[in-house]
Amino acid sequence: MANSVLYYVGVDGGGTSCRARITNLAGDVLGEAKTGSANILLGATVAMQSIQDAIATAAELAGLGGQDFAHMAVGLALAGAEQQDAWHDFMAQPHPYASITLNTDAYGACLGAWGGNDGAILIAGTGSCGIFLDSGKQHVVGGREFPISDQGGGAIMGLRLIQQVLLAADGIVKMTPLAEHVLEHFNQDIDAIVRWSKTARPCDYGQFSPAIFAHANHGDALSIELLNQTATDVEMWMQALINLGAKEICLMGSIAERIIPWLIPPMQKRVATPQGDAMDGALAMAQGNHNLYPQRG
């Protein structure tokens, strides 16, 4: 790393927001800021602009200016970085920093969870993805996005819920309070559900996950069935990571953290507590070469 580096910058970027945190070489936080989307699949220039805006805002809060950018080593943990062409398009852009290193948001989350060391995580929020870092290699399971992957995430659980609600409306399966709740959400209009499904995004399906957990606490049979399915999915990904060599796994994300009581006891014993988050991982990335792909000459 260049001797001119005086600051580390960690950036955690996804489809909805981009966070940047600046520290000195001792690890003291100097400034932090948040801007818009930094998913590089939405466009390399758009993502770079969000990142530069976040870093500039964080720098201003830290009392730093444009002249300090050349002394910043930047670690980027970004959604979409697993797509090789998108990775190269992004890294081909000019930037004012001393160095940048780019990997996925899951990679950053895994580094953060294990304090910059090897380990495994399973992220289950709206979607899902498992990653195991082992001696410089990263092994990824799942994470190929809704609806063909992402089992164990809120979107798949929501999709299954809608399917069961329609069966209940047809009298094929039992109507439960959760199913009634969903029908009320659509004003008891089945056609409205069909129209909604034509444009619904993963987050639209995932919006029902809090209601699923809440109704399960009151013994709703459909909620319990859905959570048992989701737990089985999470156990599947965990077993895949164990087969790769993981001993313990940090479960991260809104679904993962709440599904732990639903897991079978042997899998519960494999769950570890994260030491940090993706921002911590991105800062660890800033201190070395963590590029997912080699840069082209």
Tell me which residue of 34, 20, 30, 37 sits closest to 79, measured CA to CA. 37
> Is 166 part of a structural domain of the chain?
yes
Q: How far is the C-alpha of 27 from the C-alpha of 24, rounded, in Å?
A: 5
Same domain, 91 and 32: yes
Asked whether residue 30 is domain-assigned, the answer is yes
Are 284 and 75 in contact by the 8 Å Cβ rule? The answer is yes
**How far out from the chain centre does Cα 66 lie?**
31
262 and 179, same domain (yes or no): yes
- Asked whether residue 26 is domain-assigned, the answer is yes
Query: Which amino acid makes up residue 270?
Result: R
Assess whether 95 and 160 both reside in one domain: no
**20 and 36 part of one domain:** yes
Q: Which residues pair with 99 in a beta bridge?
A: 73
Based on the domain organization, do 160 and 110 belong to the same domain? no
Q: What is the C-alpha to C-alpha distance for residues 287 and 73, in angstroms, rounded to an integer?
A: 7
pLDDT, residue 42, reads 81
Tell me how many domains the chain contains.
2
- What is d(CA 209, CA 156) in angstroms, rounded to the nearest whole number? 10
What torsion do the CA atoms of 71, 72, 73, 75 make, to the nearest 10 degrees? -170
Name residue 219's amino acid.
G
In a domain, 214, yes or no: yes
Q: What is the CATH number of the domain that holds 50?
A: 3.30.420.40
The answer to whether residues 93 and 160 belong to one domain is no
Taken as a whole, the chain contains a residue count of 297
Q: Report cis status (omega within 30 of 0) of the bond before 147.
A: yes
Taking the C-alpha atoms of residue 290 and residue 103, their distance in angstroms, rounded to an integer, is: 7
Summarised one tens digit per residue, pLDDT across range 116-151 is: 899 999 999 988 999 999 998 999 999 888 999 999
What is the rounded distance in angstroms from the CA atom of residue 227 to the CA atom of residue 213? 8
Residues 6+ apart with CB under 8 A from 219: none
Q: For residue 170, how many other CB atoms are within 10 A of its CB?
A: 9
Residue 238 is assigned to a structural domain of this protein? yes
Low-confidence spans in the chain with pLDDT less than 50: 1
Does one domain contain both 233 and 280?
Answer: no
Predicted pLDDT at 1: 47
Task: Give the residue numbers spanning the domain of 238.
Answer: 154-272
The full 3-state SS of 203-232, as one line of letters, equals HHHHCCHHHHHHHHCCCCHHHHHHHHHHHH
In this prediction the pTM is: 0.84
- Other Cβ atoms less than 10 A from the Cβ of 25: the count is 11
Same domain (yes/no): 159, 81:
no
CA 283 and chain centroid, separation: 17
Q: Is residue 165 in a domain?
A: yes
> Is residue 185 domain-shared with residue 227, that is, in the same domain?
yes
Residue at 35 is within a domain = yes
The answer to whether the CB of 232 falls within 8 A of the CB of 152 is no
